[in-house]
């Protein structure tokens, strides 16, 4: 209710400035109590015990500054980043656009972050450590001017291995030129082979984040590459460069579209990956999730975990507890004893 009162004032601000204020406000908050392990929504994915299936997607906490306060809001995990080996400013401003009439966001941030060293230092001082109560993943990317992007990803996975509960290889941002080319068949195998050869015993799981803008053959070949090289889960999906009908003034801005207009496309790609994988690799559903019903639909379609980001812009910081409470009701309504039991059970 409080957020509904202050949202009009926040929406008068430039979106990037408003986001900066949100980060500043979270820094002032006490860490709070994370979601309790072992509850009705507890689920295990890639060997990690998540207290609930709802996470904050990468992009909100780019520099690993507010993961503890976010966990205190009720998220079962937080994915920080994207983090590149070297600091970089990202793309020129303005680069973030709020499409209020559409419940959407367009961004072309360009992996603006302070680099691996700064993020590693923050994660190394996690208040609770890697104890199963505060699950933090690290999303890594490549520098825009890199001459060896494969090496950048290997560096990211290695740097985050001792401080993150899992590491995500993000090859699906549309805002770094040529990055999505790494989703090609040979390019993907080369990248994942290099990452696999540099993993060590005891390293955390590695996830792969893909785009929604894929052809019909892509899910099968991406799943095959992921299984061949030991990827532990696939995140479906990042923002889209497609443009469904939109109403807002900034609808023509370049960048990745997220929020409500992405929902059906991301859901369709999740179903395609579930069909291709047949349950052989866990999937994480992202894109347009704003309610418990959206999250439950994604779980029933094949997602073991779900994530959101844009919806918190519109619904406020109470969204995590709203969704998790709703998921408990929906799980009981449909007769499931656990989240894992419900994964991939949609009819039709």
Tell me which residues are annotated as active site: 173
Other CB atoms within a 10 A radius of the CB of residue 173 amount to 25
Q: What angle do CA 256, 168, 54 make, to 5 degrees?
A: 80
- Round to whole Å and give the CA distance between 227 and 220: 11
Q: Determine the 3-state secondary structure of 292 from DSSP.
A: helix
- Round to whole Å and give the CA distance between 171 and 89: 19
Other CB atoms within a 10 A radius of the CB of residue 341 amount to 12
Place of tokens 């812009």: 313
Please provide the size of the chain in residues. 348
Cβ(311)–Cβ(289) under 8 Å? yes
- Round to whole Å and give the CA distance between 98 and 255: 12
E-strand spans in the chain? 43-45, 48-50, 54-56, 77-83, 96-99, 104-107, 135-140, 166-170, 206-210, 233-236, 256-259, 283-286, 305-308
Strand 43-45 relative to strand 104-107: parallel, antiparallel, unpaired?
unpaired
- For the record, the structure tokens of 144 come out as 């825009």
Which candidate, 145, 11, 29, places its Cα nearest to that of 90?
Answer: 145
Other CB atoms within a 10 A radius of the CB of residue 54 amount to 25
Please list, in sequence order, all residues whose beta carbon lies within 8 angstroms of the beta carbon of residue 18, skipping any fewer than 6 positions away.
Answer: 10, 11
In DSSP notation, 217-242 reads THHHHHHHHHHHTT--EEEE---BS-
- For the record, the structure tokens of 180 come out as 């999505």
Cβ(116)–Cβ(156) under 8 Å? yes
Task: Report the chain's terminal Cα–Cα distance, integer Å.
Answer: 38
Q: Determine the 3-state secondary structure of 299 from DSSP.
A: helix
């Amino acid at each position: 209710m409080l957020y509904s009162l202050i949202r009009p004032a926040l929406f008068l601000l430039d979106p990037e400035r408003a986001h900066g204020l949100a980060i500043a406000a979270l820094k002032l908050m006490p860490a709070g109590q994370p979601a309790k392990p072992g509850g009705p929504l507890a689920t295990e994915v890639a060997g990690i015990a998540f207290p609930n299936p709802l996470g904050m997607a990468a992009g909100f906490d780019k520099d690993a500054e507010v993961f503890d306060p976010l966990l205190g809001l009720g998220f079962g995990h937080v994915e920080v980043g994207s983090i590149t080996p070297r600091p970089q400013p990202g793309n020129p401003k303005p680069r973030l656009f709020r499409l209020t009439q559409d419940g959407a966001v367009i961004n072309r941030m360009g992996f603006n972050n302070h680099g691996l060293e700064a993020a590693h230092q923050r994660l190394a001082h996690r208040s609770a450590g890697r104890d199963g109560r505060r699950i933090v993943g690290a999303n890594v990317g490549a520098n825009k001017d890199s001459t060896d992007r494969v090496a950048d990803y290997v560096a990211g996975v290695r740097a985050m291995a001792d401080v993150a509960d899992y590491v995500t290889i993000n090859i699906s941002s549309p805002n770094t030129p040529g990055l999505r080319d790494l989703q090609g068949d040979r390019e993907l195998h080369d990248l994942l082979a290099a990452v696999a050869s540099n993993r060590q015993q005891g390293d955390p799981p590695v996830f792969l984040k893909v785009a929604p803008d894929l052809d019909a053959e892509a899910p099968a070949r991406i799943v095959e590459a992921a299984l061949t090289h030991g990827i532990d889960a696939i995140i479906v999906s990042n923002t889209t460069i497609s443009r469904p009908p939109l109403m807002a003034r900034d609808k023509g801005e370049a960048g990745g579209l997220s929020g409500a207009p992405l929902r059906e496309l991301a859901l369709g790609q999740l179903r395609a990956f579930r069909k291709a994988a047949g349950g052989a690799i866990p999937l994480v559903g992202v894109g347009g999730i704003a309610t418990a019903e959206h999250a439950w639909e994604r779980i029933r379609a094949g997602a073991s975990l779900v994530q959101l980001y844009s919806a918190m812009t519109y619904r406020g910081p109470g969204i995590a507890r709203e969704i998790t409470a709703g998921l408990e009701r929906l799980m009981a309504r449909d007769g499931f004893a656990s989240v894992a039991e419900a994964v991939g059970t949609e009819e039709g």
